Amino acid sequence: TASFDAEALRADFPALEQDVYEDTPLAYLDNAASSQKPTPVIERLDTFYREENSNVHRGVHRLSQDATESYEAARESVARFLNAPDPDQIVFTRGTTEGLNLVSSTFGRMVAEEGDEILLTEMEHHSNIVPWQMLAEQVGASIEVLPVTDRGELRMDLLPEMLTDDTALVAISHVSNTLGTINPMEDVIDAAHADGVPVVVDGAQSAPHMPVDVQALDADFFVFSGHKVFGPTGIGVLYGKRELLEAMPPYQGGGDMIDQVSFEESTYDGLPHKFEAGTPNIADAVGLGTAVEYIMDMDWNAVRAHEDDVLRYATEQVGGIEGTQIVGTAPDKTSVLSFVFDDIHPYDAGTVLDREGVAVRTGHHCTQPLLKRYGLPGTIRASFAAYNTHEDVDRLVDGLHKVRHMFG
């Protein structure tokens, strides 16, 4: 970890420097929910609104050309970030949730028929469950669920038998937001493709923590959110294979997504504009472009080593506190530590931690079926980013000792 200077990185993130209560500095450990923003992203938004703000694609005037250029440059940055073959295969969305709804209501409607099965896993976020349930209800398909082990790994041994002639698609998270498990995505995709089944990857928690190569993965679709990769809220990305995106009907109708419109009939624009009806979230797309450039400038071997070191340290320290139990102990994990106390409600713990300046999340983390699997009402979740340090973990541990003292 000597090659990675987390303290230097912290200086780029102004929100980390504040006191949240009197003389109580912030220890921000809620990165799986949303990460903080570095100065270059904040400044890029500022510059956009001060100097370039205008609508895109339609204007002949100077500002509109500047805004269009910046917006499309951001698309190119995102394409490089995912190693997508072509920026045309990058669709800007509102976030992971909208990406999944887009795919389910367009591609899903194309491939899922009555009697078909949609294969999910037990560790999915609600946003990778509910859109597929809505689709299943509409077309008369069923939802099938690949279970997880006690340690929080997928039951890969069951995958071959769960992929059947009726499987229309697989939708699966790359990294679990509750357990931190890194799923063996290439194996899942290879197995699905061997049966001719397309795979939708929820990359909300992998994009922030590992270099993603959609071509090496051979993912059919990959979605993520800007706000978890040091970018703005309200912007996200859908990547899709060209032939699939081209075959799909549009998601929403409106301006910017058309070729010709008459009252009898309309024809649609090509990729990616077919999927971007209306004025897009221009400024935040531009900010996301800066965020992924910022990430691509980091030394990822060093970042991974640092994040693994912080997770290992936190696991040891928190696991050593009397009455705690770690939830999610897969060997292949990143940046999430979920745990419970035997006898203290997660919400009580979270409230005490907050007064100590330690920001964690408590509850079901939008994964109710997973929590039910473990028989828990919720967990306390500390989630890390590259700017977190052992000192943040020490603050968490001190806070947890206070929790023990107050409630134990």
Residues in contact with ligand PMP by CB under 6 A are 32-33, 95-97, 125, 127-128, 173, 177, 202, 204-205, 225, 366
CB of 380 to ligand PMP, least distance (A): 16
Distances (CA, A) of 139 to 100, 105, 126: 17, 11, 20
100 versus 352: smaller Cβ distance to ligand PMP:
100
Cα(397)–Cα(246) distance, rounded to whole angstroms? 51
Compare residues 70 and 96 and give the one whose CB is closer to ligand PMP. 96
Give the residue with the Cβ less far from ligand PMP, 173 or 329: 173
Candidates 38, 11, 7, 21; CA nearest to 295 is 38
Distance CA 362, CA 350 (A): 6
Cβ atoms of residues 321 and 376 within 8 Å: no
237 token code pair: 């990305």
Asked if residues 234 and 251 have their Cβ atoms less than 8 Å apart, the reply is: no
Q: How far apart are CB 366 and ligand PMP at their closest, in Å?
A: 6
- Which one from 366, 368, 398, 402 is the annotated catalytic residue? 366
Which residue type sits at 65? Q
Cβ–Cβ < 8 Å for 178, 365: yes
Instruction: Please state the closest distance from residue 130 (CB atom) to ligand PMP, in A.
Output: 11
In the complex, least distance from residue 367 CB atom to ligand PMP, rounded to whole angstroms? 8
Q: Helices marked H in 356-389 — which ranges? A: 368-373
CB-nearer residue toward ligand PMP: 152 or 356 = 152
Of residues 68 and 93, the one with the C-beta less far from ligand PMP: 93
The two tokens of residue 333 are 């994990």
Let me know: does 291 contact 78? Beta carbons within 8 Å: no
Cα–Cα distance between 184 and 198 in angstroms, integer? 16
Helix (H) or strand (E) holding 70: helix 62-82
Q: Please say which residue, 38 or 180, places its beta carbon nearer to ligand PMP.
A: 180
DSSP 128: G
Question: Min. distance of Cβ 228 from ligand PMP in angstroms?
Answer: 7
CB of 140 to ligand PMP, least distance (A): 26
β-pairing verdict for 221-225 and 236-240: antiparallel
Check if 265 is active-site: no
Distance, CA of 333 to chain centre: 15
How is residue 249 annotated by DSSP? Answer: P
The residues assigned a catalytic role are 366
